[in-house]
Amino acid sequence: MRSGVNKDLEKRLVYLFTGEFFAVVVFSFIYFNNFSLNQSYSLNYALFTLNFMLLQGSFYWFIKWRRLKSKRTVLPNLYKSLTILKKVNFTLICIMPLIVIIDIFIMKRMSFIFLVAVLVYIFAIIEYINYFHIQLTNYKIGKGKKSSIAKEIKNSKPKN
């Protein structure tokens, strides 16, 4: 029989991995129903970046849930993938300003779509920080709790 703590943790992990995945579905649905005819490279790129990170989060929480449920190691080298994804995500975020500049030259004006793209981009940056650095939901004045993924990367690296 599982303890109440494990059951609560299991519920929390299911909530996290389904919530992150559902967010991808919702954002994609909104995009394809409202913005897909628009030729904004900024919005396409920002949404791709955000959804890519949300899928990573969903996958991570799913793996944590499988570990808890099976009581065995699932993907023992997960930290390697997370380390690579952290770099890929950072690169994607750094490329975004160039995409925005290109979009401004192509569109020759700022529009509502541009504002939406910038907001999605900011959301992607927040998710990156939340996943790979500090938990923003638990952020206290000047101090943040290290994110679960950041701990996974740090604690799973082989010691030299």
Do residues 118 and 96 touch, judged by C-beta distance below 8 A?
no
Angle at 56 between CA 15 and CA 17, to 5 degrees: 10
Q: What is the 3-state secondary structure (H, E, C) of 1-29?
A: CCCHHHHHHHHHHHHHHHHHHHHHHHHHH
- Token pair, residue 19, equals 């919530």
Residue 1 has pLDDT above 50, yes or no: no
Q: How far apart are CA 51 and CA 106, in angstroms?
A: 24
pLDDT tens-place string over residues 93-118? 999 999 988 888 887 777 788 888 99
Q: How far apart are CA 87 and CA 64, in angstroms?
A: 21
pLDDT tens-place string over residues 10-20? 999 999 999 99
The predicted pLDDT at position 19 comes to: 95
pLDDT tens-place string over residues 115-145? 889 999 999 999 999 999 988 776 666 677 8
- Token pair, residue 38, equals 């628009």
Residue 3 has pLDDT above 70, yes or no: no
The predicted pLDDT at position 160 comes to: 59
